[in-house]
Protein backbone atom coordinates (compact mmCIF):
# COMPACT_ATOMS: atom_id res chain seq x y z
CA UNK A 1 0.00 0.00 0.00
CA UNK A 2 1.10 3.50 -0.67
CA UNK A 3 2.00 5.81 2.20
CA UNK A 4 -0.56 8.39 1.00
CA UNK A 5 -3.33 5.95 1.93
CA UNK A 6 -2.47 6.37 5.62
CA UNK A 7 -1.99 10.11 5.66
CA UNK A 8 -4.63 12.26 7.21
CA UNK A 9 -5.11 15.96 7.48
CA UNK A 10 -4.48 17.83 10.71
CA UNK A 11 -6.41 21.08 10.84
CA UNK A 12 -6.96 23.97 13.21
CA UNK A 13 -10.28 24.33 15.05
CA UNK A 14 -11.97 27.71 14.74
CA UNK A 15 -13.08 29.60 17.91
CA UNK A 16 -16.64 28.22 17.78
CA UNK A 17 -15.36 24.65 17.46
CA UNK A 18 -12.99 25.20 20.40
CA UNK A 19 -15.89 26.50 22.51
CA UNK A 20 -17.96 23.46 21.55
CA UNK A 21 -15.26 20.98 22.60
CA UNK A 22 -14.67 22.79 25.91
CA UNK A 23 -18.41 22.91 26.68
CA UNK A 24 -19.20 19.31 25.66
CA UNK A 25 -16.42 17.45 27.47
CA UNK A 26 -16.19 16.91 31.24
CA UNK A 27 -12.74 15.32 31.70
CA UNK A 28 -9.47 17.04 30.87
CA UNK A 29 -5.84 16.95 31.94
CA UNK A 30 -3.97 19.55 33.92
CA UNK A 31 -0.26 19.94 33.29
CA UNK A 32 1.75 21.75 35.93
CA UNK A 33 5.46 22.21 36.64
CA UNK A 34 7.23 23.15 39.87
CA UNK A 35 10.24 22.17 41.92
CA UNK A 36 11.89 20.62 38.85
CA UNK A 37 9.00 18.20 38.23
CA UNK A 38 6.24 18.09 35.63
CA UNK A 39 2.91 16.51 36.54
CA UNK A 40 -0.08 15.74 34.32
CA UNK A 41 -3.31 14.54 35.91
CA UNK A 42 -6.91 14.02 34.74
CA UNK A 43 -9.73 15.98 36.33
CA UNK A 44 -13.41 16.68 35.86
CA UNK A 45 -14.20 20.26 34.97
CA UNK A 46 -16.75 22.82 33.88
CA UNK A 47 -16.01 25.45 31.26
CA UNK A 48 -17.74 28.73 32.13
CA UNK A 49 -16.84 30.65 28.98
CA UNK A 50 -13.80 32.33 30.54
CA UNK A 51 -12.10 29.65 32.62
CA UNK A 52 -11.82 25.95 33.37
CA UNK A 53 -13.35 25.32 36.82
CA UNK A 54 -12.25 22.31 38.92
CA UNK A 55 -12.09 21.01 42.46
CA UNK A 56 -9.71 18.62 44.17
CA UNK A 57 -8.24 17.66 47.51
CA UNK A 58 -5.07 19.19 48.85
CA UNK A 59 -2.18 17.37 47.21
CA UNK A 60 0.66 17.48 44.72
CA UNK A 61 -1.09 19.36 41.90
CA UNK A 62 -2.35 22.09 44.24
CA UNK A 63 1.12 22.45 45.75
CA UNK A 64 2.67 22.72 42.28
CA UNK A 65 0.07 25.19 40.98
CA UNK A 66 0.53 27.37 44.07
CA UNK A 67 4.30 27.41 43.47
CA UNK A 68 3.96 27.99 39.71
CA UNK A 69 0.48 29.17 38.65
CA UNK A 70 1.25 28.85 34.91
CA UNK A 71 -0.52 25.68 33.82
CA UNK A 72 -1.68 23.85 30.74
CA UNK A 73 -5.05 22.15 30.31
CA UNK A 74 -5.89 19.65 27.55
CA UNK A 75 -9.19 18.10 26.54
CA UNK A 76 -10.15 15.95 23.59
CA UNK A 77 -13.19 14.64 21.80
CA UNK A 78 -12.59 11.03 20.77
CA UNK A 79 -16.18 10.07 19.98
CA UNK A 80 -15.58 9.72 16.22
CA UNK A 81 -12.22 7.98 15.92
CA UNK A 82 -10.09 8.17 13.90
CA UNK A 83 -11.39 11.72 13.60
CA UNK A 84 -10.52 13.45 16.84
CA UNK A 85 -10.51 17.01 18.19
CA UNK A 86 -8.15 18.37 20.83
CA UNK A 87 -8.00 21.69 22.67
CA UNK A 88 -4.98 22.94 24.62
CA UNK A 89 -5.34 25.86 27.02
CA UNK A 90 -2.45 27.88 28.41
CA UNK A 91 -3.55 29.67 31.55
CA UNK A 92 -2.97 30.42 35.17
CA UNK A 93 -4.20 28.89 38.41
CA UNK A 94 -6.63 30.95 40.50
CA UNK A 95 -7.80 29.44 43.79
CA UNK A 96 -11.39 30.32 44.70
CA UNK A 97 -12.72 30.98 48.20
CA UNK A 98 -15.97 31.84 49.89
CA UNK A 99 -19.00 32.60 47.75
CA UNK A 100 -16.95 32.22 44.53
CA UNK A 101 -15.98 28.67 45.53
CA UNK A 102 -19.56 27.86 46.55
CA UNK A 103 -20.90 29.06 43.17
CA UNK A 104 -18.20 27.15 41.27
CA UNK A 105 -19.01 23.94 43.15
CA UNK A 106 -22.69 24.38 42.38
CA UNK A 107 -21.85 24.77 38.67
CA UNK A 108 -19.74 21.60 38.82
CA UNK A 109 -22.54 19.66 40.52
CA UNK A 110 -25.11 20.85 37.99
CA UNK A 111 -22.91 20.12 34.96
CA UNK A 112 -21.72 16.72 36.14
CA UNK A 113 -25.17 15.71 37.43
CA UNK A 114 -23.62 15.04 40.82
CA UNK A 115 -25.61 15.40 43.98
CA UNK A 116 -24.67 15.26 47.61
CA UNK A 117 -23.68 11.80 48.87
CA UNK A 118 -26.37 9.60 50.34
CA UNK A 119 -26.85 9.78 54.08
CA UNK A 120 -25.12 6.41 54.55
CA UNK A 121 -21.96 7.73 52.90
CA UNK A 122 -21.78 11.02 54.81
CA UNK A 123 -19.19 11.38 57.57
CA UNK A 124 -20.78 11.32 61.00
CA UNK A 125 -20.03 13.67 63.86
CA UNK A 126 -21.39 12.43 67.14
CA UNK A 127 -24.94 11.26 66.67
CA UNK A 128 -25.75 13.61 63.77
CA UNK A 129 -24.76 13.82 60.14
CA UNK A 130 -22.25 16.49 59.14
CA UNK A 131 -23.32 18.24 55.94
CA UNK A 132 -20.90 21.00 54.88
CA UNK A 133 -22.80 24.15 54.01
CA UNK A 134 -20.00 26.53 53.04
CA UNK A 135 -16.61 26.50 51.36
CA UNK A 136 -14.85 26.87 54.71
CA UNK A 137 -16.42 23.62 55.99
CA UNK A 138 -15.32 21.57 52.98
CA UNK A 139 -11.92 19.92 52.63
CA UNK A 140 -11.66 20.44 48.87
CA UNK A 141 -9.81 23.10 46.95
CA UNK A 142 -11.88 24.88 44.31
CA UNK A 143 -9.98 26.60 41.53
CA UNK A 144 -10.14 27.83 38.00
CA UNK A 145 -7.67 27.99 35.18
CA UNK A 146 -8.02 31.44 33.68
CA UNK A 147 -7.40 31.16 29.95
CA UNK A 148 -4.50 33.15 28.53
CA UNK A 149 -4.32 31.34 25.18
CA UNK A 150 -6.20 28.45 23.56
CA UNK A 151 -5.58 26.38 20.45
CA UNK A 152 -7.49 23.51 18.91
CA UNK A 153 -6.63 20.86 16.36
CA UNK A 154 -8.50 18.10 14.59
CA UNK A 155 -7.78 15.16 12.35
CA UNK A 156 -9.93 14.65 9.27
Q: Assess whether pLDDT exceeds 90 at residue 75.
A: yes
Residue 132 has a pLDDT of 55
Q: How far, in whole angstroms, is CA 3 from its chain's centroid?
A: 38
Which bin fits 73, alpha (ψ -120 to 50), beta or left (φ > 0)? beta
Are 54 and 97 a contacting pair, CB within 8 Å?
A: no
Mean pLDDT, residues 116-137: 51
Q: Over the stretch 13-71, which tens digit does the pLDDT of each residue have?
A: 999 999 999 999 999 999 999 999 999 999 999 999 999 999 998 899 999 999 999 99
For the beta carbon of residue 102, count every other beta carbon within 10 angstroms.
17
Of the listed ranges 15-19, 30-34, 115-119, 150-154, the least confidently predicted one is 115-119
Q: What is the 3-state secondary structure (H, E, C) of 64-132?
A: HHHHCCEEEEEEEEEEECCEEEEEEEEEEEEEECHHHHHHHHHHHHHHHCCCCCCHHHCCEECCEECCC
Confidence of residue 127 (pLDDT cuts 50, 70, 90): very low
Residue 135 has a pLDDT of 52
| CATH ID of 10-117+135-155, from 3.40.50.1980, 3.40.50.970, 2.30.110.10, 2.120.10.10 | 2.30.110.10
Q: Assess whether pLDDT exceeds 70 at residue 103.
A: yes
Are 59 and 145 a contacting pair, CB within 8 Å?
A: no
Buried b (16+ CB within 10 A) or exposed e, 132-146: eeebeeeeebbbbbe
Are 13 and 45 a contacting pair, CB within 8 Å?
A: no
Residue 130 has a pLDDT of 47
The DSSP 8-state label assigned to residue 131 in this structure reads -
Amino acid sequence: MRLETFRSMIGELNPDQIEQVLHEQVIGRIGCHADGRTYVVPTTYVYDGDAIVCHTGLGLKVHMMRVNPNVCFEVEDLRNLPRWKSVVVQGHYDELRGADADAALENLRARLQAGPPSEELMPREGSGVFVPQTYEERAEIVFRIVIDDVKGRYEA
